[in-house]
Amino acid sequence: MNMKRTGVFVCHCGINIAGTVDVKKVAAEAAAQDSVAVAEDYIYMCSDPGQKKIQEAIREHNLESVVVACCSPTLHETTFRNACKAAGINPFQCEIANIREQCSWVHKDKAEATKKAIKITKSIVEKAKRNESLVPLSVPVTKKALVIGGGIAGIQAALDIANGGHPVILVEKNPSIGGHMIQLSETYPTLDCSQCIMTPKMVEVSKHPNIRLMTYSEVKEISGYVGNFKVKILKKPTYVDPGVCTLCDDCTDICPVVVENDFDLGLTGRKAIYIPFPQAIPATYTLDDVNCPGLLPIACGKCADVCKPGAINYDMKPEIVEEEIGAVIVATGYDLYDMYNMAEYGFGKIPDVVNGLQFERLLSASGPTMGEVLRPSDHKVPKEIVFIQCSGSRDPELHNAYCSKICCMYTAKHAMLYKHKVHDGQPYIFYIDIRSGGKNYEEFVQRATEEDDVIYLRGKVSRVFQDNGVIKVWGVDTLTGKNIEIDADMVVLAMAMRPAVGVQDVLKILKIATDKDGFLAEAHPKLRPLESVTAGMYLAGASQAPKDIPEAVAQASGAASKVLALFSADELMHEPIVATVDEDVCSACKLCIPLCPYNARIYDVEKDIVIVNEILCEGCGSCVAACPSSASQQRNFTDDQIFAMVDTILEGE
């Protein structure tokens, strides 16, 4: 064993450590270790004089490594490593012995605490003695971003990065960008028209020189690591050449196939060749090949026949586009909880029970009824209308346990807009609580009750059923304790928000973790809400949790600024505590390969061993622990270091 010259510095931390640990004794015991050249104690090691003391000792005693016995490494490891670096020793030769959080603060008996502090310090000295000097690995950054999802969050993120001067690829699975926001009528709390504020942004995306918009496309494969991803994107054929199409609409007129229109959530139909909505971006038609009777002109071919400019091409093929990118923003959004899960509220059986998004379409000036509130079954104006909040939310037994957050606000808006259109109508809202935190939100709800006569009933609806043409809504008012029965003309369910349908497939490809509800998991619930656990992948919008438009926009801009910060450097630094392989010992059993979650383990055919891609390696050590021949080690967490630490802790009585 080499006799590395180590210095040990024991901090009193005022009385935080010295109150329960005999710091002088810790220093004295440490000094007795063979590799320790000097051991000192000081009242505040992290203070400037404390750091100077360490630096002087490094010079005076020619130290090669430093152990500071103090608070948790999460607090001052960087401080002391920088101090060591400034004094000329490799920062990875500096280690922290945590004798505060994990010793002096959790024990009262001074003798016990001192004994434990000594063991902790000595075990870290043994580790430091075997540390390698390491240099962070540096990797170049590809300054191009991928944004997945073309709703408001994805659009905002793409625009921010593009305006920051970097190219962006915006991938959207549907034929147009716009997401759910473009379906909305008016937005709370200002009641401004959603399409009016959304379409300029959509146009900006389509015109931006830094944005490559790929609609009707899906991410199929991604490999690489932060700063250096390679992605394969599938561009599905639309069978229409947007450059040639003049938007004359002759094709939809002639198309004989009618299917449900997703944009209106089934309230209307659309043809097999269609434009999703008039302001769609890109402004062009898509031929949906699932519902088209045949791309063989022999089977139908009517649309191509009537297309005067000849924009329709049945031979268009799926295309795989490969791109190199440096960062990913996932903004895959939400869908509403499937109403078929809510049999108790009559959905599926009663045509006039609709969900919140369907009601948005009914309110929308560009919707199926041109903004008139007409119920789907007979197109009559509903005079008594019941809104049920928390449909599928806050119900851990049967549905989703979480609060979908936006429903209180949009239901107030629905009731208000309804009242603005049907002056003699009566809206009722069943609610559990009203959650109206947000700028001007509470005032908005107040306005609904005070100015628009919305009746709020606190309680749950137990049943919705049809009886002689009327919809019976049974519930309780928990404030009065009375049972309530309303004969309604229409019922609107404020359905829970769920992660977007089909998003699981994308997440599997991206290897992004989700929480228990399927929303994207953030790297830290409080301090890193914009990042996924995978470096270089960021989160925006309702894909991470239910949120409304301003929140989605704020998070998207936040994620974009993370990407811009990443792109501001030409090189990235990567932690060097990675796995290593002793080429002479590795027998290429390949056990380690499937264990690595980052694909950092690669079989080297020529050498017939398994090697480590140090840039991909995140340094967990799980492959190292599995190596049957100990050919693999983790830098500065080697078996020898761990054995030596165990020995030191267990020695003595």
Partner 1 sequence: MDKFEPKIITFACNWCTSAGADLAGTSRMEYLPNSINIRVMCSSRVDPQHILWAFRKGADGVFLGGCHPGDCHYIDGNYKTLRRIKMLQKLIQDFGIEPDRLRLEWVSAAEGKKFVEVINEFTEHVRKLGPLNIPADLSSHEAS
Q: In angstroms, what is the minimal distance from the CB of 611 to partner 1? A: 19
| Closest C-alpha among 94, 89, 11 to residue 45 | 11
Question: With respect to partner 1, which residue has the nearer C-beta, 181 or 620?
Answer: 620
Question: With respect to partner 1, which residue has the nearer C-beta, 382 or 619?
Answer: 619
Q: In angstroms, what is the minimal distance from the CB of 153 to partner 1? A: 24
Question: With respect to partner 1, which residue has the nearer C-beta, 142 or 534?
Answer: 534
Helix, strand, coil percentages (3-state) for the chain, rounded to 5, are 30, 25, 45
Q: In angstroms, what is the minimal distance from the CB of 101 to partner 1? A: 3
Element holding 391 (H helix, E strand):
strand 384-391
Question: With respect to partner 1, which residue has the nearer C-beta, 102 or 279?
Answer: 102
Helix, coil or strand: residue 528: strand
Q: In angstroms, what is the minimal distance from the CB of 330 to partner 1? A: 16
Alpha helices for 579-631 (secondary structure H): 592-595, 622-626
Question: With respect to partner 1, which residue has the nearer C-beta, 115 or 498?
Answer: 115
Angle 152-521-231 from CA coordinates, rounded to 5°: 65
Question: With respect to partner 1, which residue has the nearer C-beta, 52 or 590?
Answer: 590
**What is d(CA 582, CA 302) in angstroms, rounded to the nearest whole number?**
68
CA 584 to chain centre: 42
Q: In angstroms, what is the minimal distance from the CB of 642 to partner 1? A: 5
Neighbours of 288 (CB within 10 A): 18
Q: In angstroms, what is the minimal distance from the CB of 602 to partner 1? A: 18
Alpha helices for 422-548 (secondary structure H): 441-451, 503-510
Question: With respect to partner 1, which residue has the nearer C-beta, 23 or 267?
Answer: 23
| Closest C-alpha among 242, 243, 216, 240 to residue 306 | 240
CB 512 within 8 A of CB 534: yes
Q: In angstroms, what is the minimal distance from the CB of 112 to partner 1? A: 5
Pairing of strands 273-274, 269-271: unpaired
Question: With respect to partner 1, which residue has the nearer C-beta, 64 or 126?
Answer: 126
* Positions in the binding site for partner 1 (CB under 8 A): 72-74, 98, 100-103, 105-109, 112-113, 115-116, 119-120, 123, 511, 513, 515-516, 521, 533, 577, 595, 597, 618-622, 624-626, 630, 634, 637, 639, 642-643, 645-647, 649-650
Q: In angstroms, what is the minimal distance from the CB of 256 to partner 1? A: 49
Q: In angstroms, what is the minimal distance from the CB of 110 to partner 1? A: 11
Alpha-carbon distances, residue 313 vs 301, 393, 427, 595 (angstroms): 10, 46, 50, 47
CA 235 to chain centre: 24
**What is d(CA 534, CA 518) in angstroms, rounded to the nearest whole number?**
17
Question: With respect to partner 1, which residue has the nearer C-beta, 116 or 144?
Answer: 116
**What is d(CA 384, CA 464) in angstroms, rounded to the nearest whole number?**
14
Question: With respect to partner 1, which residue has the nearer C-beta, 109 or 487?
Answer: 109
Q: In angstroms, what is the minimal distance from the CB of 542 to partner 1? A: 21
Question: With respect to partner 1, which residue has the nearer C-beta, 101 or 384?
Answer: 101
| Closest C-alpha among 223, 220, 205, 202 to residue 169 | 205
Residues 248-276, buried b or exposed e (16+ Cβ, 10 A)?
Answer: eebbbebbebeeebebbbebeebbbbbbb
Q: In angstroms, what is the minimal distance from the CB of 563 to partner 1? A: 22
**What is d(CA 175, CA 274) in angstroms, rounded to the nearest whole number?**
10
